[in-house]
Amino acid sequence: MRALLLLVAFWASFSMLALPARAVADDDVAGAQSVIRAQEQAFGRNDAASAYSYAAPAIHEIFPSPDVFMDMVQRGYGPVYRHKSFEFGEAKAEGGVIAQRVHIIDANGEAWEALYTLQAQPDGSLKITGCSLLKTGQAV
């Protein structure tokens, strides 16, 4: 299952990078960052239900409960789950999808880059559709 999520996240992440950049409205970026930050804070509190609530329906299909989702994050996304630093970088938006880079220093002091993708939902909210994680200095 984790491999499928990573494949979806990488596809979404790299397809977003290939799109021509448009001016990202401040409220688009602020909204995306707010969702990512809220999920990051929920991880910090070990609040699986809240963290899960920021994930898109496609993620819910792969990970059918908050506990299963949280277990996946703890096992596969340690730097996202626990870190010393979590800072937003560049963002791009196109067609209701936002790609947001996050610079992370993990609990051991190692640098990582996460690329979150978020998509507008029918109700207008933004939900996280994927997160790819790469240790800084590693080749793709």
Find out whether 80 and 133 touch, Cβ atoms under 8 Å: yes
Q: Residue 22 pLDDT more than 90?
A: no
Widest CA span of the chain, in angstroms? 40
Global confidence as pTM: 0.80
Q: Which CATH code is given to the segment(s) 2-135? A: 3.10.450.50
Integer CA distances (angstroms), 37 to 7, 18, 30, 55, in order? 23, 25, 10, 13
Tell me the pLDDT of the chain averaged across its residues.
85
For residue 125, the number of C-alpha atoms closer than 13 Å in the C-beta half-sphere is 12
pLDDT tens per residue across span 122-139:
998 999 999 999 999 655
- pLDDT-derived band at 95 (thresholds 50, 70, 90) equals confident
Helix, strand, or coil (residue 27): helix
**Mean pLDDT of the 43-47 span:** 97
Domain boundaries, the chain: 2-135
pLDDT at residue number 92 = 93
Q: Residue range 64-71: average pLDDT? A: 98
